[in-house]
Amino acid sequence: MTSEFNKTVRGMRDFLPEDARKLRFIEHIARETAELYGYDEVITPAIEYYELLAAKIGEENRKRMYVFEDLGGRKVALRPEFTASVARLVATKLRSAPKPLRLFSVGSLYRYDEPQFGRYREFWQANFELFGSAMPEADAEIISLTDRFLTKVGLRNYHFKVGHVGVLRGIFSHEGIDEEKQNSIMQMLDKKEVEKAINLMRETKSSGESLDTLKGLLDTSGRDLNSVIEKMRKIVDGYPSSVEAVENLREIVALLKDGGLKTGILLEAGFARGLEYYTGSIFEVYVPEMNIALGGGGRYDKLVEIFGGEKTPAVGVALGMDRILIALEKQKTPMRYNIPKRLLIIPVERSMLGEAFKLASMLRDDGFCAEVDTMGRSVTRALSDADRRGIEFTVIVGPKEIKEGKVILRHMTKRRQMIVKLDKLSEKIREESD
Ligand code: AMP
């Protein structure tokens, strides 16, 4: 056998039933959260034009895209994120949709990252975007929605790291640093390459004052929100658009607190994220058990316009479902929602198969997960199979009982069985359930 037949491609994973169920549980809660906040789902393709996806994703992510030419000669790529696709919709098909426009997406994404703990080449995100509002209440809504989703999913002890790219960009613009250089500096800061970032700023002939301001910001962070904001405000004095950014951050944080957010916030003045399109608030989610982010988001007011749409301010969040799954496992949180009770229907002989099918159908109508033995097993072997698989009830269908409109119901763990009339079966199963 060729070795390509018995393994997955590096960075790609199979989700066996238990893990698939957990991932779908997280997706289910994301969908419920979307409904609670009025976000409508959109489904966009996994393959898009390279140019669209590459436009503003940032150098690091751009280098890691799966790019190829399709058979029609188009330069395309597998999506590394949802935001570009959703912004494309808002620039085109949803151009005249009334604002605010709240959109939700979920699915798999592709980045040629170096596989390691919590980092895969195919991974999953639940993504929420709010288009049309430049107000701080929109930023606060996205953080509040993230908070509700994470609480609903059962995550504990997480916190938000919050910053604002306007604070740093305000200084860079004031010093006349062009956008490309600004992006490079931001990418370095995102990768914690502080020295490199400062050196690059020096090369642009930035003033000594601006270097001190940057260093001051990089040293400013904390959970006492008011005092961090005051400190930031003092540091950026003299950089008007940075001052504006700090005031915007003050409003967002105040709204969250006034709105009853209990989750801790760590404000970081020098916080930067890899994606290039951010223009305002940015945030990430962390748990103490892991030093990688479970999700991240922020404001991006220019992207829709870059894609040819109307000027449309926007803010969104992408939650990494794989990493949330790891975090929940580390915190030993059960990841199950109400799955139907499982029953195995065992015909005692082949002539009873039709009755067994009919019975299974009736039980499914009543909301049970009913499975008919398909292995032609004897009753004894079918019962031990049910035991092995932890099935709680079996229903044994024999000709004698069927003639009287009855079947044998067996509670597997209690090792108790009883003869039950067909029209009372569902009721009896519920009664006998643990
Ligand atoms: P981003 O789209 O880069 O803002 O990432 C948002 C979230 O997606 C991150 O916080 C991670 O939880 C998740 N994520 C990003 N890249 C990967 C990856 N290669 N593997 C697993 N999760 C990822």
Give the residue from 330, 363, 378 where a domain finishes.
Answer: 330
Q: How far is the CA of 245 from the centre of ligand 1 (A)?
A: 26
Q: Are residues 201 and 261 in the same domain?
A: yes
**Residue at 83 is within a domain:** yes
In ligand 1, which atom is closest to the CA atom of 61? Answer: 3
Q: Ligand 1 pocket, 158 CB below 6 A?
A: no
Q: What is the pLDDT of residue 1?
A: 60
**Residue at 284 is within a domain:** yes
Q: Is 295 exposed, middle or buried (CB count within 10 Å of its CB: 0-12, 13-18, 19+)? A: buried
**Residue at 337 is within a domain:** no
Q: Ligand 1, atom 12: nearest CA belongs to which residue? A: 320
The C-alpha angle 46, 144, 229, rounded to 5 degrees, equals 115
| Amino acid type, 260 | G
Q: Are residues 321 and 353 in the same domain?
A: no
Q: Which are the contacts of 239, defined by CB distance < 8 A and separation ≥ 6?
A: 170, 171, 174, 213
Q: What is the pLDDT of residue 136?
A: 98
Give the SS3 label for residue 316: strand
Q: Are residues 228 and 361 in the same domain?
A: no
Q: Which residue has the tokens 């829709």?
A: 304
Q: Are residues 238 and 318 in the same domain?
A: yes
In tens, the pLDDT along 354-380 reads 999 999 999 999 999 999 999 999 999
**What are the tokens at 133?**
């509002």
Q: Ligand 1 pocket, 57 CB below 6 A?
A: no
The C-alpha angle 241, 244, 248, rounded to 5 degrees, equals 140
Give the residue from 330, 351, 367 where a domain finishes.
Answer: 330
In ligand 1, which atom is closest to the CA atom of 323? Answer: 12
Domain residues for 403? Answer: 342-433
**What are the tokens at 236?**
């950026």
Q: Ligand 1 pocket, 66 CB below 6 A?
A: no
In tens, the pLDDT along 212-266 reads 999 999 999 999 999 999 999 999 999 999 999 999 999 999 999 999 999 999 9
| Of the candidates 421, 394, 417, the residue with the CA atom closest to the CA atom of residue 407 | 421
Contact of 270 with 163, CB cutoff 8 Å: yes
**Residue at 273 is within a domain:** yes
Q: Ligand 1 pocket, 32 CB below 6 A?
A: no
In tens, the pLDDT along 307-350 reads 999 999 999 999 999 999 999 999 999 887 777 889 999 999 99
| Amino acid type, 103 | L
Q: How far is the CA of 401 from the centre of ligand 1 (A)?
A: 58
Which pLDDT tens digits describe the chain residue by residue (434 residues)?
Answer: 677 899 999 999 999 999 999 999 999 999 999 999 999 999 999 999 999 999 988 888 999 999 999 999 999 999 999 999 999 999 999 999 999 999 999 999 999 999 999 999 999 999 999 999 999 999 999 999 999 999 999 999 999 999 999 999 999 999 999 988 999 999 999 988 999 999 999 898 888 899 999 999 999 999 999 999 999 999 999 999 999 999 999 999 999 999 999 999 999 999 998 788 999 999 999 999 999 999 999 999 999 999 999 999 999 999 999 999 999 999 999 887 777 889 999 999 999 999 999 999 999 999 999 999 999 999 999 999 999 999 999 999 999 999 999 999 999 999 999 999 999 999 999 999 86
Q: How far is the CA of 407 from the centre of ligand 1 (A)?
A: 52
**What are the tokens at 339?**
């799955």
Mutate which of 122, 322, 325 for ligand 1? The one with the most ligand atoms within 8 Å of its CB, which is 322
Q: How far is the CA of 220 from the centre of ligand 1 (A)?
A: 26
Q: Are residues 255 and 319 in the same domain?
A: yes
In ligand 1, which atom is closest to the CA atom of 120? Answer: 20
**Residue at 105 is within a domain:** yes
Contact of 309 with 97, CB cutoff 8 Å: no
Q: What is the pLDDT of residue 288?
A: 97
Q: What is the pLDDT of residue 57?
A: 85
Give the SS3 label for residue 403: helix
The count of structural domains within the chain is 2
Q: Ligand 1 pocket, 119 CB below 6 A?
A: yes
**Residue at 335 is within a domain:** no
Q: Are residues 289 and 398 in the same domain?
A: no
Q: Ligand 1 pocket, 120 CB below 6 A?
A: yes
What pairs with residue 298 in β-bridges? 282, 316
Q: Ligand 1, atom 21: nearest CA belongs to which residue? A: 119
Q: Are residues 378 and 270 in the same domain?
A: no
Q: Are residues 272 and 200 in the same domain?
A: yes
Q: What is the pLDDT of residue 422?
A: 97
**Residue at 336 is within a domain:** no
Q: Are residues 177 and 217 in the same domain?
A: yes
Residue 25 maps to which CATH number? 3.30.930.10
Residue 423 maps to which CATH number? 3.40.50.800
Q: How far is the CA of 320 from the centre of ligand 1 (A)?
A: 5
Q: Are residues 294 and 353 in the same domain?
A: no
Q: Are residues 270 and 360 in the same domain?
A: no
Q: Ligand 1, atom 9: nearest CA belongs to which residue? A: 295
CA distances from 140 to 67, 147, 184, 260, 316 (A): 35, 10, 28, 11, 10
Beta strand ranges found along 275-390 (DSSP E): 281-286, 295-299, 314-320, 342-347, 369-372
Give the residue from 330, 365, 391 where a domain finishes.
Answer: 330
**Residue at 261 is within a domain:** yes
For 196, other C-beta atoms within 10 Å of its C-beta total 15
Q: Are residues 307 and 347 in the same domain?
A: no
| Amino acid type, 270 | G
